Every structure is written in C-alpha cells, then in structure tokens.
Structure 1
Amino acid sequence: MSESYLRFILSLRSYVLSQDPRICQSLSFLDHIKDLSSLPDYNEQGLLEKYPPLQILQQGDQLPNIEEWSAIATAYCLLISDLKHLKFMGTISHSAELVNQIVRCAQRETGWICLPMMTVTSELRKLVFIYVQSSEYKAAKEHKLKQSQFDVYLDEKLANLLQKPFKVCLSDKCEDKKFAVYFFANELFKTYMKFGKYDAANNMCKVFQHSPNLPDLSTVSKSQVITYRYFMALVECMNFDRLQSATQLLNQALDACKTGDKYHHNQKASILVLLLPLNFLAHRWLPSSMLWKQYPELSLAFKSIFDSIKEGNLKVFDEEVTRMQKMMLERHVYSLFIRIRPFIELRLFTKVHHFYKGEKPHIIPLSQFSSALKYSSSRDYTIEEVESRLASLIYAGQIKGYISHSNEVIVLSKSDAFPSTM
C-alpha cells in the first residue's frame, strides 16, 4: 500500500476524531492546482479498490459518521484523479459529492464541522466559476448538450447544493453553526449574481428578514459581514425605491474595511464601484478630487463620467458608458449609470432656463431644449423626444411646471422650478 495514501486516510481520521481544523487543508484541492503533477493518483494506482477508505477508517477508535467520511475520502481521491487529467465535469461531480457527504455529517456534528464544510463548499463554487471560463465549457454548450440542460446543471444544481449547508446552519439549534450562515449566504449570493438569478437573491434577503434568531453582525467575521452587506445592497439596487437602504449598507461595509494594505484598498474600491452611482442617485453627491487621488483605478474608469454629469455633457457620458459597458455589466452597475442619464438632461434644462431671455422667462419654447440636447449629444432631437423627457422629469418631481403641446412650450413654476438639481 502507498505510504502517502495510508497517511492521507489516517490523517483524515485523526483530524475528525480530534476535530482538528487542519482537516480543511486535507480536503482542499484548489490549493494544489499549481502542483498537480506532483500529486499521487490513488485511483489510477488502483488503491481505492484494493484498500477502500472504509476498511482503513474502521481500524482503532470508533469514528462517528464513518460511512460519510469514507465517501468523502473516496470522492476526494477521485476528484484529484480527474483534476490531474483536466476532466472538469468529473471533478465538479466529485466536488459536489464532497459537499453532499459533509452536509450529512454536519447534521450530526457540532460547530467544528463548519470549517471543513466551508472549504468544500467554497471550492465547489470556485471550480464551477473556473469551468464556465474554459474552452471545454464553451464546446459543451455548442456541441454536447442543449443549452437549457447545460445551464440547469451549472446554476440550478450548484445553487441547490450550496443551499444545503446554508439550511443546515440556519435551522440547527447549535449556536456555533449559526455563525456560518453568513458565509454560506455569501456563497449563494455569488452564485446567484454570477448566473443572473436575481429573484433567488431577492428571496435570500427575505430569508434573513424573517430569521430573527441569527447572530448579531457585530459578532461575525468582518470579512463575511462586509461581503454580506455588499450583496444585500446589490439586491436592494434592483428596487429603485430601496436606493437609500442600499447606500446605507454599502457605507457600513466601507466603514468596516481596514485601511493600509492592498487587500483592503481593493475591497474598498470594489464597494465604491457600486457606491459612487448610488450616492449620486440617492443624494446627488459627486465624488471629490481627494477620492480620485486615493483610487486612481476608479478615476481612470469613472472620472470622465462624473465630470460629464457635472458639465451636462451627454456626448461624453454616452461614450464613456459605452466604453465601460462590459465592466459595468459584470459589476451589476450598468443600470445605475443608465438611470443617471436623465439627470444630465435635467442639468442641461436648468442651464436653458437660466440663460433664456424671453419676454416671459418661465415660458420656454421646446425648441430651446431641443437645441441644447443637440449641442450636448451631437445628434438631433425631435420636439416629441423633448416633450417625453420633460414629461418624465415633471412626473418625477424634478421640474415644476407643465407642457403646452399645442404651443410647443413648457410653462415653469415662477419659484423653484428645478427643486432638486445638483
């Protein structure tokens, strides 16, 4: 029998009996991706068949949940074998088996089981995320399976698997397990957002709203709290009426971040990508020059956009949003920036009102607004388009007045016609 194989099984047994957190390292496989060639292939060597893990685990003191731990050891060895041969679908299948078996153990174990359950759950999700970027995935979509069947595996089955440890920790009477709820919720949030399952993410938020007995966030790991608040804010953004709540959650996440090192700088930058458009939509706040200096990467991506908002420059705004569209879609902020565009038009319209010198300055021809829009965006606007934009702003309470369609003018309030401009 291979010494390394025996050592792996016996180490696993020892870690379970002593509830040793080093079991996480034993069950991790993503840590070994860079040195796969040096890992032994116990399946290829026939050791799993000759010396089944159950047979080795039965030696010595009685091991609780021995059937499940035997299945875990087997699944891990098969996983490494498939990973060495770059068989992603097989690797994902064995990784899923790891999650299933450790969840079964968790139902009869104390809180110590949460750490290894976190390891195998997170690595399954990361593995699937890696796989969807691979050429094998693209080939499978095009040639092997129907798109609908393929996606069911990737999103529905993954989400169903990740829900299992979440539900175990949420419903367990053991308080130690409840602290892991936020970790597994974050894994689900990442999955839902990756595959565009926004309704599922929204339902996850409702679960927390109706679960009063969860640990207070002040007692939970800061890194998990920051991620949790970020995703809760992202879900809140889907409801335009909840932007204030989303802004509050992100500011809380930002305050919880440490300062100084590169990791937390990047963490803050990720939060700010969402917070910058939210701050404008919720409060009409524009980023300061100090912020651009602190985060040059954000300045490169977004400064021109916010400058165009301040200047009322539709052409630059549209060009910059188009340039950053891919990144905005990936970060789920594209719709927020699209919502900002009417405020640039509003900025333009306030300037028209300010500079218009007609006999009755509160009654302005729609052609004046059409000319301003054309100048700012470098394209023609019909009177109907101008009417539509003005009507939307009046309805939203951004302009006080009414449109006279027959006279092609807007009649503005003589006092405070633009109550909420920047």
Structure 2
Amino acid sequence: MAFMSLSNYLQIVERAWNSQDGSKVALFISLRHDHACYANYHVENPEGLVERFLPGPIDELVILHLKCLHALSKMDYMGAYQIQSNLIQSFTKILQMQKEENWSLPIMYTVCLDLRLLAQKAEKSRVGINEKPGEILEKAAECLMGCFRVCAADNRSSEEDTKRIGMLALVNQLFKVYFRINKLHLCKPLIRAIQSSPFNESFSLSQQITYKYFVGRKAMFDSDYKKADEYLTYAFENCHKLSKKNKRLILIYLVPVKMLLGYVPSKSVLEKYDVIQFWELVQAVSCGNLKAFDELMEIHESFFIECGIYLIVEKLKIIAYRNLFRKVYLILNTHQIPVEALQTALVHLGQSDVDLDETECIVGNLIYEGKIKGYISHQHRKIVVSKQNPFPPLTTLV
C-alpha cells in the first residue's frame, strides 16, 4: 500500500462504510493490513480528527483501531488486547443493530481474528507475571461469543442476508482458543449449533476444512476414532495440495487415528509431508517389537507431547501386542496358544513386569477390540483363536 495521509485514510473508510462495503472497511481496520505499519496511523488520541471525518458508529471503531496501533507500536500487547476487546464489544452492538443486513460480516471476521492473535501475544508477554495461564485467551473467547450469539440469533431464512452464515468462522476462532487453553468441553455446544444449521452448504470450503480438522481432533481425544478418521480424512483430502504445512498438521493427528483403526501409513506419505517421526514407530508396531516401540516413544517424546498426541500414540502399543502375538501363533502353529508362551515373548522384548494375569488382560482387550478372533480359556490358561482369519489383517495406506 502506498503511503496515505490519515485524512485520506479516513475519507476512504467513510466511503466504504456508506456504500456498505464490508470487505473494504475490514481491510482498513485490520491490524495485519499494510497501513498498520505506518507511524502516522499510530495515534494515541485520535478522537478529534476521526470525529471530523467519520459519522457514528464507525467513528468509534476507527478510534479504537488507531489507539490499538499506537499501543502495538509501543509493544504494549496487553494494552492493545484490551483496546481490541473494547472494539469487539462496540462492533457487537453495531452487528446487533443491523437487523436486516449482514454486509458487515467481513469486518467481524477481521476484528475477531485480530483479537485472538493479540490475546496470544498478550499471554506470552505476561509470562512470569502473577496471571492465570490462559486467562486472557479465555476472556477473548467471551468477546467472540458475543458476536457468535448475535449471528446465531438471526432467524432470517435467506442466506443472502442472514448473519448465521458467519457462525462457522467464529466457531473456528473459538476452537483455536479452546484447544490452546485445553477447554475442549466448551466445543460441544458450538458443534451442536453448526450441525443444526440449515446453512451448512453455504460455508466456504476453507472454513469447513478448519472445522472438520478441529472436530476430528476432539473426536480423537474422545476416543471416537471412526468419527476422527472421517473428519480428519475430509480435512486432509480437501486441503489444497499446495498447503503442505496444513496437510502435515492434519496428518500428525490422522496417522495415529488410522493406525488405531488398523491401517498402516506408507513411508512415502510420511516422507512427503515431513512426519517421518512416525515411520520407525510404524515399523516397530508392525513387527510387534515392543522394546523398539518403548525406545522410540522416549526418543520422540517431546514431539508427541508438543503436538498433544503422546497418550494417543501410546495406545498404538495395543497394535504392537497384536502383531507380536500373531508371530507367536505362527511359530507355534496351533489354535490353542498357551498364555505362558505369550508372556515369554513379552518378557523377551523388555516387558519384564508383565505376569500371566496381565498377559491375559492384554489378550482380552485385543479380542474385545476385534484385533484377535477367539476367546480365553482361563481354566487351561490358553488363548483359543479362530481357525479362520484369527488375526484380521491391517491395511496399508498408499
């Protein structure tokens, strides 16, 4: 953007507002637009000048926007966040007053995204201060919910003028906050609101991909792996092929979900999207090498914890047990496998603290999950497996 005087800027905003060009107004009150870099927009007390050029209620938004830029120029992230919070509250009232129109939705998308990003910076700037972790982001979510309620309360049935078509963008912003502060239970009513919306087909593909990604992650944490697979697969397959970073992010959660459902990812896919950390783990699981599995969990512990998937990946050990027991079955070549033989294999691979009862318990879980077809004869301490396909095969993903 070429250098523009503040008065020219205000005139452009006025014309955009009067013509109800929400997208253009959004640009000029965005903290990420080019104008935000220029010092002449960093005004501590812009009221007098702004009120000369702009009518209400847009004047209040621009005044707060310029004050926010001033705070940011001083690297006062907490002050900027508080000003942006006030801006959102002012905008929510404007949105509520616009009973029969939705042209200002692009403004809502912009100011809400800016608020979330500022809240994250404010959180980081408050590290070490006596502040409850996540408190700023939680308060930011309350501001976002104000806009969400206005959109959700719009009863008009035409997608051309209803504010409900703005719900998904807000839900995605709220998801990003709730996942960051680990309050996933707050996602549930938002998911219900979107599922019951008659405008699901009106949401943009990019918004749907983000939504499916977060709902898929939540389903994964809720141990609903089939739903997680459905949603994460949708997000991965519909994500633009050039968005390699986003595809990688989706795969970090999709890979362990697929493996828990019995699918084995190919090395080429893991290499293509730079999640090769999973490959040696895949090999350890596929071979039933419990010792290697434990070692790799320790090696990649920080990566798995950082991604929030450590406990999910650890559950893959049950697949490793299945593959180890299948090897024992093939070696013994019998449908009646002594529990002691399975325990011996476990001890050989570093599971020295597993006794016969625990071995039976592991087998019981595998039978319950359908990974082994058979039953346990407790009286004879044997596992009696089916004569037809006792170990249902895993599927390799191309």
Q: Is the structural similarity TM-score above 0.5?
A: yes
**2:114 aligned residue:** 123
Residue identity opposite 2:105 in structure 1: C
Q: How many Å separate the matches in 2 of 1:201 and 1:26? A: 31
Residue identity opposite 1:411 in structure 2: I
Q: How many Å separate the matches in 2 of 1:402 and 1:91? A: 64
Superposition pairs of residues 165-244 of structure 1, within 5 angstroms: 165-172=147-154, 173=156, 175-176=159-160, 177-211=163-197, 213-216=198-201, 219-240=202-223, 242-244=224-226
Q: 2:268 aligns with which of 278, 287, 290?
A: 290
Q: Is 1:80 paired with 2:69?
A: yes
Highest RCO, 1 vs 2 (Cα 8 Å, sep ≥ 6):
2
Aligned residues: 383
Q: How many Å separate the matches in 1 of 2:237 and 2:296? A: 29
Residues 312 and 347 of structure 1 are in contact (CA less than 8 Å); yes or no, is this contact kept in structure 2?
yes
Superposition pairs of residues 306-325 of structure 1, within 5 angstroms: 306-325=282-301
Identity within the alignment, %:
22
Secondary structure of residue in 1 paired with 2:382: strand
Q: How many Å separate the matches in 1 of 2:42 and 2:35? A: 14
Residue identity opposite 2:78 in structure 1: M
Q: How many Å separate the matches in 1 of 2:391 and 2:292? A: 26
CA RMSD of aligned residues (A): 2.6
Structure 1 position 198, deviation (Å): 1.1
Q: How many Å separate the matches in 2 of 1:278 and 1:231? A: 14
Structure 1 position 231, deviation (Å): 1.3
How has the CA–CA distance of structure 1 residues 33 and 52 changed in structure 2, closer, same or farther, with 3 Å as cutoff?
closer
Q: Is 1:113 paired with 2:104?
A: yes
Residues 346 and 421 of structure 1 are in contact (CA less than 8 Å); yes or no, is this contact kept in structure 2?
no
Structure 1 position 27, deviation (Å): 0.8
Q: Is 1:271 paired with 2:265?
A: no
Please state which structure has a larger fraction of its residues in helix: 1
Residues 370 and 380 of structure 1 are in contact (CA less than 8 Å); yes or no, is this contact kept in structure 2?
no
**2:345 aligned residue:** 372
Residues 270 and 278 of structure 2 are in contact (CA less than 8 Å); yes or no, is this contact kept in structure 1?
no
Secondary structure of residue in 2 paired with 1:236: helix
Q: 1:351 aligns with which of 327, 332, 350?
A: 327
Q: How many Å separate the matches in 1 of 2:320 and 2:10? A: 65
**1:7 aligned residue:** 8
Residue identity opposite 1:53 in structure 2: V
**1:302 aligned residue:** 278
Residues 267 and 279 of structure 2 are in contact (CA less than 8 Å); yes or no, is this contact kept in structure 1?
no
Q: How many Å separate the matches in 1 of 2:301 and 2:121? A: 23
For structure 2, list consecutive stretches of 5 or more residues without a partner in the other structure: none
**2:82 aligned residue:** 93
Structure 1 position 125, deviation (Å): 0.6
1:361-397: per-residue Cα shift (whole Å, max 9, x none)?
4444433222211233364433343233223323434
Structure 1 position 119, deviation (Å): 0.5
Structure 1 position 92, deviation (Å): 0.6
TM-score in terms of structure 2 length: 0.86
Secondary structure of residue in 2 paired with 1:167: helix
**1:26 aligned residue:** 28
For structure 1, list consecutive stretches of 5 or more residues without a partner in the other structure: 59-65
Structure 1 position 153, deviation (Å): 3.6
1:262-285: per-residue Cα shift (whole Å, max 9, x none)?
xx2222222222221222222x11
